[in-house]
Amino acid sequence: DIVVTQSPDSLAVSLGERATISCKSSQSVLYNSDNKNYLAWYQQRPGQPPQLLIYWASTRESGVPDRFSGSGSGTDFTLTISSLQAEDVAVYYCQQYYSTPRAFGQGTKVEIK
Amino acid sequence: QVQLVESGGGVVQPGRSLRLSCAASGFTFSTYPMHWVRQAPGKGLEWVAVTSADGRDKFYADSVKGRFTISRDNSKNTLYLQMNSLTTEDTAVYYCVREKPYNDYWGQGTLVTVSS
């Protein structure tokens, strides 16, 4: 089974500053036949279900602000919020969809400093 | 627009059973694999189970294997989760989720509380 680990568990960032979250998988999630990384990022605001932000490691879902970006390949991935806004306070999860079980990272809580 | 509406949650005693439902609308339900994902109070997301679009293939997390059964009725656009031998560890909000193959749409969730 693939294990997915995020870091840090939480971070506090000033408004307008950059937030960076790391996600590491225990095995590569790069599928050679299509050269795609089977890794997604979700945002969960308090009291809400998760919402898809990024898929294929770096493709923004429709409607997601361009201050959110995803990068990485293989086993190491990063979610970056380039200029933190108040509405970005949430818990962020990465998930591999390369294989079942579809493991999630433990989550990273982003707060305003 | 895509809608996923879960129902069937509630308070149940340990060892008892419960069946969750998820009514889907706004898309061709029979062409998408579907998942259940749960979240214990104050905890992270835990993948529970998946069924293929035609319902023939099913996979489960080790934590629920042998106790939970995922199924679907494509004629009714409905996903199910039959939960047997419930324990307090199963207390969580259960989300119905569409696969694309990433999880692009999530329901609002239904709360299951296992308590004596």
Instruction: Write out pLDDT tens, residues A56-75.
Output: 999 999 999 999 999 999 99
Stretch A15-26: mean pLDDT: 98
From the list A52, A97, A104, which residue is nearest B45 (CB)? A104
Task: Decide if A93 touches B, using CB distance below 8 A.
Answer: yes
Instruction: State the pLDDT at residue A18.
Output: 98
Following CA atoms A36, A42, A93, B53 in sequence, which dihedral angle do they give, to the nearest 10 degrees?
Answer: -60
Q: What is the mean pLDDT of chain B?
A: 98
From the list A50, A97, A101, which residue is nearest B101 (CB)? A97
Q: Which two tokens stand for residue B95?
A: 């989300």
Instruction: Write out pLDDT tens, residues A75-86.
Output: 999 999 999 999
CB neighbour class for B49 (10 Å; exposed up to 12, middle 13-18, buried from 19): buried
